[in-house]
Structure 1
Amino acid sequence: MAYALLALAIFAEIIAAISTRFSEGFSKPLPTAIAIIGVVTAYYLLSLVLNRGIPIGVAYAIWAALGVASVAIIGAVFLNDKLTLIQWFGILLVILGVLSLELGGNFEKV
């Protein structure tokens, strides 16, 4: 259940970030409202995730990293943002970092 809430928190963060792009400096009411509601929702859901026992270092890293990587990919694929090869490599590193955080919990703690 905690990871489903984390996925929803990431989704809310992505919606908020994309809405910010369309708000034109918060001059358009609808995208601005969606951005604000999305950020508040994302943090609320993240608080529920933490309340269900996922450590903050893991939950926040997954939330932030997958949000950033997803927004960058959505921007490149759907919003005509340009990404260099090095930036694509950086996105891969972010994803690998999140995987190592999650999978690393199965090994002996230092």
Structure 2
Amino acid sequence: MKNWLILGVAIALEVTATLALRAAIDTPWWTVLTVVGYAGAFVSLSALLRRGAPIGVIYGIWAAAGVALTAVLGSVVFGEPFTILIGLGIAIVIAGVVLVETGHEKPASASTEVAP
């Protein structure tokens, strides 16, 4: 359960940083939040790896969630277009992550919380 929380924090930080990067175009001080957000996201990801989470699964979920949330929030916050093709692309990315997750062999160790 803790791995899911850490992964959620990493996703939230990455999406926040990406949205701040877009906001920094008009207001440069948003660059500070961009740097802090990306740094925090990578620290969170490294914490997951230290806990034994498989990088392919963790990165896949992090990247897919980041793409999907950034596209949706970019549309809401900045009025960027959200088309059927964008929605289809997000669905394909999510399907790919599900395939990676379900295709990943579970380790034979006694630990029950290796992957999120």
Structure 1 consecutive aligned stretches of length 4 or more whose deviation exceeds 6 Å: none
Partner of 2:21: 20
1:8: Cα distance to partner? 0.5
TM-score, length-scaled by structure 2:
0.81
Structure 1 position 28, deviation (Å): 1.3
- For the pair 1:10 / 2:11, whether they are aligned, the reply is yes
Cα pair 1:23 1:32 within 8 Å, conserved = yes
CA distance in 1, matches of 2:23, 2:76: 16
Return the offset for 1:84: 2.2
Do 1:19 and 1:34's aligned partners in 2 also have CA atoms closer than 8 Å?
A: yes
Aligned positions, number: 105
Q: Tell me, yes or no, if the aligned pair for 1:3 and 1:49 is still in contact at 8 Å.
A: no
CA shift, 1:106, in A, is 6.6
Give the match for residue 91 of structure 2. 92
Query: What 5-or-longer segments of structure 2 have no aligned partner?
Result: 107-116
Corresponding letter in the other structure for 1:82:
P
The one-letter amino acid paired with 1:34 is: L
- The percentage of counterpart residues that share the same residue type is 36
Q: Select the structure that is richer in helix.
A: 1
Give the TM-score taking structure 1 as reference length. Answer: 0.85
Q: CA deviation at 1:78?
A: 3.0
1:80 is displaced (CA, Å) by: 0.8
CA RMSD of aligned residues (A): 1.8
